[in-house]
Structure 1
């Protein structure tokens, strides 16, 4: 388990508890849904497989360019949200974005990309945008953290008064990616001027790959105790539920179906029944085909773990 430095921490005092808008006795379960066709179709797909919440991309995750939503698309998304009953929707930013890029042209392109996505979330009424903090690409951890904070500050400055919050996702620590320890996350949060606008997304596979062993009761409690010390449990806005193809502390980002990887079912049972996280969205990011039967199977597996 990772050691904790006594002087590490982040500004937590002004952060209110994330609104628990889900069912009071457990977390909300869902999956990442395609926005193919138009963004409102993601909700219909979520309803089809039994989601209580969904995660979406606000645009193609592999392209910088995007067309603005039409009024019809916006209205359909809002209408489908009501009709499906899936009122909790979170978004994930583009995989192209690197807020820690040492190359200034790439950094500015990434900042503008996040600003665009924050605007798209605000338009749709999506209150959480999940983002990987960024990679230092050889500039070093300290410089990378400063660059990420600078980039977030610029995005915040361009989106004054927005309801949507940026939720930084713990990473597996692959390559030069930052944000794979809670200490690093705390350093990023502390370096951001409008610190209160940040939230955290906990990915089970990423945390496991980064060296947080959630498989045992002791490891689970140590992990979330450390998260609370450095970042604060009240910062948690969403979870990604993924098992791991690779073994513990691999620093490799490879998702597996629930219970079929190295994490195993006990960790998910413990997480799903942890009352500290009741009402929060927990979304699958596991592989699936066009018929989404894998989502149905994974959601059924997760629901079987709820305590009676």
Structure 2
């Protein structure tokens, strides 16, 4: 189990591992391009070497790219779907040049098309992204909080998409705040065990590649996406002790996406919980 966080790559992606090291992280996540833009910044060979050198120098062997927020593989507009496919394929290729473990993405919204059409579009888009792709960076889809018609809030829906794709290279990121907001209880050892057993039955723990470790300002089943500092939200410290103690998470990267003003304290909190729950195991 490694503790990480989303870090800034401002000034060049090679700054991301440096910023991660300054926070005492063991893994990290970053944007390789502006999160609200489709613009593709240049990624020079020199910058790739600097990034890889910084990762090696600071001992990072796992890191992740988060795709831009503008992705919508379920859009009613072909132009938006095609652009989303292009951006995600570019991010996979950039990740492979950088030696990144995985590139995670949200899937989009079914608001304008209905659920079945949206699922078909998402699966088609993901297949197109992976067509003839042979790089090492994994494509990872993230569960959603279920706000509006956002795709991917239920484990069964994610499983359906994976079945439609039919590609074992696609992994899953479980966001704890999104899961709680979608009705999956993560507050006690018993409910964490039940939630992860359900995940295993539907998606399979072999697909689970990374955790977004966030507390939630939103109550269980509230279907909104608002992250909170560890222990200050509706999951609470007892919930995170239960999460970190569950064997499903033992070998995964736990990436914080909590508000930047207190992320250093969140890192210390998670490390302290890990030490306590795994002591003697």
Partner of 2:138: 165
Cα distance between partner residues in 1 of 2:263 and 2:18: 14
The answer as to whether partners of 2:71 and 2:84 remain within 8 angstroms in 1 is yes
Task: Give yes or no for the alignment of 1:247 onto 2:219.
Answer: yes
Q: CA deviation at 1:42?
A: 0.7
Pairs aligned (count): 276
Cα distance between partner residues in 1 of 2:119 and 2:188: 31
Partner of 1:33: 7
Partner of 2:55: 81
Partner of 2:38: 64
Partner of 1:296: 264
Cα distance between partner residues in 1 of 2:218 and 2:202: 26
The answer as to whether partners of 2:192 and 2:246 remain within 8 angstroms in 1 is no
**Is the partner of 2:260 in helix, strand or coil?**
coil
Partner of 1:271: 243
Q: How does 1:24-173 map to 2 (within 5 A)?
A: 27-157=1-131, 159-173=132-146
Partner of 1:179: 152
The answer as to whether partners of 2:75 and 2:112 remain within 8 angstroms in 1 is no
| Equivalent position to 2:198, from 204, 226, 241 | 226
The answer as to whether partners of 2:27 and 2:253 remain within 8 angstroms in 1 is yes
Cα distance between partner residues in 1 of 2:74 and 2:96: 24
Higher helix share: 2
Cα distance between partner residues in 1 of 2:190 and 2:41: 48
Moved more, 34-43 or 58-67: 58-67
Q: Which runs of 5+ in 2 are unaligned?
A: none
Cα distance between partner residues in 2 of 1:275 and 1:178: 28
Q: CA deviation at 1:95?
A: 0.1
Cα distance between partner residues in 2 of 1:106 and 1:276: 36
Partner of 2:186: 214
- Deviation string 1:245-289 (CA, Å, 9 cap, x unpaired) is 111111000000000011101121122222332231111001114
Cα distance between partner residues in 2 of 1:97 and 1:178: 12
Partner of 2:177: 205
- Deviation string 1:17-39 (CA, Å, 9 cap, x unpaired) is xxxxxxxxxx1001001100010
Shift >6 Å, 4+ stretches:
none
The answer as to whether partners of 2:188 and 2:242 remain within 8 angstroms in 1 is no
Cα distance between partner residues in 1 of 2:174 and 2:237: 17
State TM-score, norm by structure 1.
0.87
Cα distance between partner residues in 1 of 2:247 and 2:59: 23
Cα distance between partner residues in 2 of 1:197 and 1:204: 23
User: RMSD across aligned C-alpha pairs, in angstroms?
Assistant: 1.1
